[in-house]
A and B are shown apart, each in its own frame.
Chain A
Amino acid sequence: MNRDEAKTILLLYRPGTADAGDPEIAAALALAKQDPELTRWLVEHCRRQEAVRAGFRKITAPAGLKEQIISEQAAHEKMLFWRQRAVLAVAAVVVALVVLTPLWFQHRGQDDTYANYRNRMASVALRGYSMELATNNPASVRAYLAQNDAPSDYVLPAPLEKAALTGCAIESWQGAKVSMICFRTGKPLPPGEQSNLWLFVIDRSRVKDAPPAGSRQMIQISRLRMVTWTEGDKLYVLGMAGDEQTLRQFL
């Protein structure tokens, strides 16, 4: 290593730092100890380095920068805290909805009471249904119902046997099939209607508090007059839009 090479290396030398540990710088420093001219250059260089270094370090950060950084971070953390709270709250609501909604529907779905059944069948009769089989043949109706696993071994009251059969449909209630047999009372039908007397038959065991055998209950649901009774293992609901006296004619 000659003098110029040493100067090149020592250009990066900062007195008082770990630079002296660098092997190249250490070798150049060793050479400087033996070379008076290089020693003078090094002294001047160190003075220069210190001057520049001191000049750089005179710069100071604006007053309040530290406090600003800390306070803004604190505000940011506070905002994050509340945002996390909000997210957790929303998540909790979502979880609650996810958990409770099926339970609610399940609870609703488990309303297998007699009253619920009557209301539902009244709703079917009043708000519309689609006649799946239009026929006046009782055997065809029973065959269709049996074919679709709906109650078909029902027993009709004698007067109802004589009523004008128009067809049938199959409804569903709480997972059970309900046979809907449609008749005409003989009175004029509303426009678009095919029947105005309906008999709903369901397995009695599917209705929690079905009335005991032998009793008939007459009820009014909306504009539908209904009579219910139990016979054998079936629960019957007969309904029509009319008065009780007319309804009794079919029992």
Chain B
Amino acid sequence: MAEGMDFEGLVACYYEPLYQFALSLARDESDACDLTQQTFCIWAAKGHQLRDASKVKTWLFTTLHREFLGTRRRQTRFPHIELESAATELPVVLPPTDSRLDAPQVFDALARLDEIYQAPVALFYLQDCSYNEIAEILDVPLGTVKSRLTRGLGRLHQLLADDAAGPQPPPPKS
């Protein structure tokens, strides 16, 4: 186990961010609780194998993500798109976003992202994970993480801006 931290200390330190990440993936409170609990359960069983105490956070998030993928039994695989190939379609002009956003708003917008963007965006905002940590947690190359983040963030901001602008009025009849 991580040096100087017992199980209760570890739970106290990470249950909230893990739950937030789980909720961003599962979009269901009950499932998020289960994922969080399962992650700590796996830690209790296998955490002693982790030698580098500085990797506890990454280990926990990686485990939770794998558990989520396992429970989803997803059939399709996510395509890896490198940053260079996506650069031409990156949004460089972002719409204004309301400076006062609440959790349901952002989670709703996150849920409307393509699935491949949800996990990196959640880790990006929720945990301040570095790009390398996100790559390690999601088990994808660093370039893929950056390209997914660039696209995901752009799309997220667009959705939030659209939500803030409200429904568009129908075009006037001629």
Contacts and interface: CB of A to CB of B under 8 A. Distances in A.
Contacts of A7: 92-93
B157 interface: yes
Contact of A4 (B92, B126, B153): B92
B133 to A, nearest CB: 10
A215 interface: no
Given A57-B126, A59-B107, A65-B33, A51 B20 contact: no
B20 A59 contact: yes
A77 B100 contact: no
A44 B15 contact: no
Interface string B56-72: 00000000000000000
B138 interface: no
Interface in B127-173: 128, 130-131, 146, 149-150, 153-154, 156-157, 160
Interface residues of B, number: 50
A66 B12 contact: yes
Contacts of B99: 47-48, 50-51
A50 B157 CA distance: 12
Contacts of A77: 44
B149 A12 contact: yes
A14 B20 CA distance: 19
B149 to A, nearest CB: 6
A18 interface: yes
A159 interface: no
A4 B23 CA distance: 34
Interface stretch (A67-75, A88-96, A150-158, A202-210): A67-75
Contacts of B92: 4, 7-8, 11
A18 B23 CA distance: 25
A18 B131 CA distance: 10
Q: Which of A18, A55, A62 has the most CB of B within 10 A?
A: A55
Contacts of B153: 11-12
B42 to A, nearest CB: 11
A32 B90 CA distance: 19
B128 A65 contact: no
Interface string A168-183: 0000000000000000
B150 A65 contact: no
Interface string A1-23: 00010011001101001110010
21 contacts: A7-B93, A8-B150, A11-B91, A11-B149, A44-B94, A48-B94, A48-B99, A54-B101, A55-B101, A55-B105, A56-B125, A56-B126, A58-B103, A59-B20, A61-B20, A61-B33, A62-B19, A62-B33, A65-B33, A65-B37, A73-B7
Those 8 A-B pairs whose CB atoms lie nearest each other, nearest first? A55-B101, A55-B106, A61-B19, A58-B103, A59-B103, A7-B92, A56-B125, A48-B97
Interface of B: 7-8, 11-12, 15-16, 19-20, 23-24, 29, 33, 36-37, 40-41, 44, 87, 90-94, 96-103, 105-107, 110, 122, 124-126, 128, 130-131, 146, 149-150, 153-154, 156-157, 160
Given A11-B150, A51-B101, A73-B41, 17 more contacts: A11-B94, A11-B153, A14-B124, A18-B130, A50-B99, A51-B97, A51-B98, A51-B99, A56-B20, A56-B24, A56-B110, A56-B126, A57-B20, A58-B103, A61-B16, A66-B12, A70-B8
